[in-house]
Structure 1
Amino acid sequence: MTHFTNPSTFILQGIPGLEGAHVWIAIPFCTMYVIGVLGNVAILYLVKREPSLHEPMYYFLCMLAVSDLVMSTCTVPKMLSIFWFNGREINFSACIAQLYIVHSFSTMESGIFVAMALDRYLAICHPLRHSTILTNSVVAKIGLAVGLRGCILLLPHPFLARQWPYCRTNVIAHTYCEHIAVLKLSCVDTRISSYYGLFLALIITVLDVFLIAVSYAQILRAIFRLPTKDARIKTFGTCGSHLSVILVSYIPPIFSSLTQRFGHNVPLYFLILFANVYLLVPPMLHPIIYGVRTKQIRDSLLRVFAQRGT
């Protein structure tokens, strides 16, 4: 315990209470990270290589893959260095940057899901106008808007975090510089930052989930109007991967954010383990879900392997 106002470094503790198991915990973490990196890089490669995948749906999928790669790569390598090499120190500026990147790209991903829902709505409810509305320039503008929203709305987090005096300790009881974990080290009232973070989490989630729900309500109406059961199943199947990805992506961060703020009786190691779930599991599952459930991606992947084998 020391007295300082602006530490040059923070110390990441890892998972308090499970230090003896760090080496073993790192193995599944590393496995999930490697699978996620390989899967998302494969998605980017396939979309770039295959002209048949040059469509809005796959452009949005590429944005999601980039976001997943950035979020996991800015946290997991440092996390593994803590578990395997006891590399606990992190520069103050690097810590603030990590905090900002994780939360801003998480916000971007939520916007990407809204864009994907819009794509599915137009493809099913207005198929003849889909290509004329979602042109490449419109897709680029949507991507820019999603990126700017994440960057601008989360700017107060690093700005305020740099202003707080840290006079308690520089030891962060976490595996990365998570916003709430950093705020707990300050010796002044940080409720404004905590409330703003909660406000953003609720408003962004509620707004984006509402827009997605409206899109799928219209999609379901269009599907139920189709004449045959096979047509309804086939059309709804095109939305299955998107719905699966939404569930995988929204549930862990919402649960983690709420338990970090209100789960006072929940063991700290459980909170930290679950906070790592949404950095590791969604980036790993996104390419798997789309690869398994999307015929065009499966066919493109098989063609690549077939060409490699000849």
Structure 2
Amino acid sequence: MPVFGIRKPERRVVLRTGAYGIVTNINGKVMIIQNKLGKFLPGGGLMPGESYEEALHREFLEETGYEIIVKRKLETLSWYIDTPVEWFMQVFNTGIFYEVELVKRVNTDIEEGHEILFVDGESATDMHSDAQMWTIYKYILSKKYPPIIKTNASASENRIYPLRLAARCIVQTEQDKIILLASNKLDMCGLPGGGILRGEDIRTGAVRETREETGRDITQLKPLGASIEYSNMLQLTYYFSAKTAAASSAIHLTKLESDWGIYPVEVDLDTAEEMIAQSKGVIMHEGFEVASMSRARNLAALKIYRQSLDADLV
């Protein structure tokens, strides 16, 4: 089982166990609790003598006022998180996550400063813990963004991973070309996109990153899936297909992208697959490609994209 977060060795560790629930409403939005510390899935630590399910029922009543039905256990995850009270401490939290159904609200006098939100899973990018963002993907968003590739998972057991969220697009032009980003300096090429900002909707991030790197505004975003990569971090990349017309704005690259000499190029689908497959300038970490232009995940996304085109022709 991978461990989420960042271990700070200069801090003393306090152990904690908890129970947490995933609830969606009829519109598929996930229940989130927001307080002064951030955003959380409903739930919390066990009291002395409590079982996990007893704690979950109590926490839901305290935080939301709802009675619940615990439908099934999902999984157990562990994560490091800084304490908001004492800078020299970290909490090592081991939590069991459950699928939960709301029954009825029996109390509106919930914990002070707690606000109940129902949000799209794509917008839950600023949860207080990486483990909870991962759980939202695995048990909610994966139905819409199924895994298209999972790399290095066998080496993930008992490793500590910060979670990075990213979005990338396969952009089709009016001439039915695909836009790639290339670097002659590093002999690399890949699909436009990049990291999601905290609190940024995944789809909004995909549009922003594509505009910054290609100068194109995109429309008609369609989910293709997600790649899951274990290396020096757990990178979860959401993939979309999209369409665009003529260039509409200036290109704005990061300093690193500028140093790499990144530029957009338009090619047909066959050439796009060939160029990515032949890229040699990859960055390796323990035998795994960690460059933003990872060949494996981009080729997997192009394969799914090609299949979607073939399905549209049937």
TM range (shorter): under 0.3
Higher helix share: 1
Higher strand fraction: Structure 1 or Structure 2? 2
Structure with larger RCO (C-alpha < 8 A, sep 6+) = 1
Task: Output the TM-score relative to the length of structure 1.
Answer: 0.21
TM-score by length of 2: 0.20
